[in-house]
Amino acid sequence: MEKPITIAVAGCGSRGLEAYASKALKYSDRMKIVAVSDTNPGRLARAKKMFGLNDDQCYDSAEAMLAKGRLAEVLFLCTPDRDHYKEAMTALALDYHLLLEKPISMYANECRDIERLALERRRQVVVCHVLRYTVFYQKLKEIIDSGAIGDVVSVQAIEAVGHWHQAHSFIRGNWRNAGLSSPMILQKCCHDMDILLWLTGKHCKRVSSFGSLKHFNAEHAPEGAPARCTDGCPAADTCPYNAVRFYMGRAERGWLGWPVNVLDPNPTVETIGKALREGPYGRCVYRCDNDVVDHQVVNLDLEDGVTVSFTMCGHTNYNNREIRIMGTRGEIRGDMEKKALEVLKFCGEQDQAEKEIVDITKFTTDFSGHMGGDVRMIDDLLDLITGEGDGTALSDITKSVESHLVALAAEKSRLNNGAVVEISEM
């Protein structure tokens, strides 16, 4: 029996540890965590305990771990967005294969640098575009490629971020401020740009975009609202963003997973209470240092006259993705939350279309972590390194760079009053 693939983990947060590295507990015969790093002592201690590591295998930063040379075959790089470039370039120079959390980088030239070095060093870089790995999108891709609806003409897609997710990640959380992390259309929606390009099989030529931070600012704060939800807010009973109700309510009901465990790696009612009083997640959503948008629309002009209209909005009840693919001989409507695709083939009359409902639950029972995408991505990575796959990843660095160029072009357009941006100029 072959030895398991050795893994080093840089960044032991919600994604690096809980979503990806934890799969080593399930696939102990295929992967083994041999080194971890994090700047947060609590998260580092949790990783150490989870994988039975000793002190010499734990580092207080990715930089410190990388300074020790190549400690494993693969590096899971899940550090803050703005650290990715330097750490990825260092890791590739050390001959690590990478599982690289998106975004690759905030800058087009840095995305290309990582791609270039990966190809030069013949290292695999799997970018965490986990939507490609979901059965939902793979089935959708299969139907499109079968020609069932003819040639794709236009696509409408929406990412309903969810008001609570907007508040958690993009107002109070790590991705609230573009100067500290990255623009929201890149951080959140390079996923969507990637999946839209993959589904259509087309390259993007030009982009235009509009959007803004409309609601989550001091102008919309309830009268008398303090800086923190823990400080006796007069709107506590009516505000949908009351952090005490959202986080403490879950903790008191025994729900200690995401997003509660983002506040503390080993959450209890006591530690969550302290985090709300002292940390960023207890702040009033109208009195934070956030500057990323809460809604944005993007228009994509693809090859062969194919058009795409994409909407991202934080003012929704559910966190969901919906899509409508319109072709020359039919259309497909998809809803991730409902785990269903509706295929309509034209028959000449509105009421006579040939209709098929594709129930995604018939093809998988694993909808954990991004609708099952997380675990399937790890499978793909392990197959790639062991040579069990076809030699290419479903989401490798070359496939992923274009999605970043499109997202960066969208942000450039937004900041320039919707001016059309050519992808060739990025």
Residue 212: per-residue pLDDT: 98
Question: If you search the block for the tokens 């696939």, which residue do you land on?
Answer: 27
Rg (CA), the chain: 22
Pairing relationship of beta strands 204-212 and 125-127 according to DSSP bridges = unpaired
Per-residue pLDDT in tens (0 to 9) along the chain, 426 residues:
478 999 999 999 988 998 899 999 988 999 999 999 999 999 999 999 999 999 999 999 999 999 999 999 999 999 999 999 999 999 999 999 999 999 999 999 999 999 999 999 999 999 999 999 999 999 999 999 999 999 999 999 999 999 999 999 999 999 999 999 999 999 999 999 999 999 999 999 999 999 999 999 999 999 999 999 999 999 999 999 999 999 999 999 998 888 999 999 889 999 999 999 999 999 999 999 999 999 999 999 999 999 999 999 999 999 999 999 999 999 999 999 999 999 999 987 767 678 899 999 998 887 887 878 888 999 999 988 888 877 778 888 999 999 999 999 999 999 999 999 999 999
As a whole number of angstroms, the distance between CA 178 and CA 186 comes to 10
The domains of the chain, with CATH numbers, are 5-123 (3.40.50.720), 131-216+291-366+396-425 (3.30.360.10), 218-282 (no CATH)
Residue 349: per-residue pLDDT: 73
As a whole number of angstroms, the distance between CA 305 and CA 405 comes to 19
Residue 163: per-residue pLDDT: 97
User: What is the tally of helices (H) and strands (E) in the chain?
Assistant: 16, 15
Residue 123: per-residue pLDDT: 95
**What does the H/E/C string look like for 236-272?**
CCCCCCCHHHHHHHHHHCCCCCCCHHHHCCCCCHHHH
Residue type at 117? Answer: L
CA 231 to chain CA mean position, Å: 33
Residue 388: per-residue pLDDT: 80
As a whole number of angstroms, the distance between CA 100 and CA 78 comes to 7
As a whole number of angstroms, the distance between CA 329 and CA 332 comes to 11
Strands (E), 2-121: 5-10, 31-37, 58-59, 74-77, 97-100
